[in-house]
Chain A
Amino acid sequence: MMLLDGVLALLLLLLAGRCVTAASLLQAIVAFIVLGLLLALSWVRLQAPDLALAEAAIGAGLLGVLLLGTWRHLPASGIHHEFPWPWHGMKQAVSALGGLALAVMLALALHETAPEPAAAGETALAQLDAAGVKQPVTAVLLNFRAYDTLLEMGVLLMALIGALIVRRPLQDGSRIAPATLLSPSLARLFLPPILLIGLYLVWAGAYSPGGAFQGGAVLAGAGVMLALTGLLRGASVDGLWLRGLLALGAIVFTTAGVLLVPVTGHFMAYPDGLVTPLMVLIEFSLAISIALSLLLLFTGTPGLARSRP
Chain B
Amino acid sequence: MTLASITASVLIVVGTAFYIAGTVGLLRFPDIHSRLHALTKADNTGLGFLALGVALLSGSPRLAVLIALVWLLALIAASVACHLIARYALDGTDSDSEPRA
Contact = CB atoms under 8 A, between A and B. Distances in A.
Interface of A: 24, 26-27, 71-77, 79, 179-180, 182-183, 186, 189-190, 193
Contacts of A74: 99
A24 B99 contact: no
A36 to B, nearest CB: 18
Interface of B: 73, 76-77, 80, 83-84, 87-88, 91, 97-101
B33 to A, nearest CB: 16
Main secondary structure of the interface of B (DSSP, over half): helix
B75 to A, nearest CB: 12
B100 A183 contact: no
A179 B87 CA distance: 7
B97 A24 contact: yes
Nearest to B99: A72
B98 A26 contact: yes
A180 B83 contact: yes
Contact of B98 (A24, A180, A190): A24
Contacts of A24: 97-98
A299 B45 CA distance: 35
A76 B98 contact: yes
A75 B99 CA distance: 7
A183 B76 CA distance: 11
Given A24-B98, A75-B101, A193 B73 contact: yes
17 contacts: A24-B97, A26-B98, A27-B97, A71-B99, A75-B99, A76-B98, A76-B100, A76-B101, A79-B99, A179-B84, A180-B84, A182-B83, A183-B84, A186-B80, A189-B76, A190-B73, A190-B77
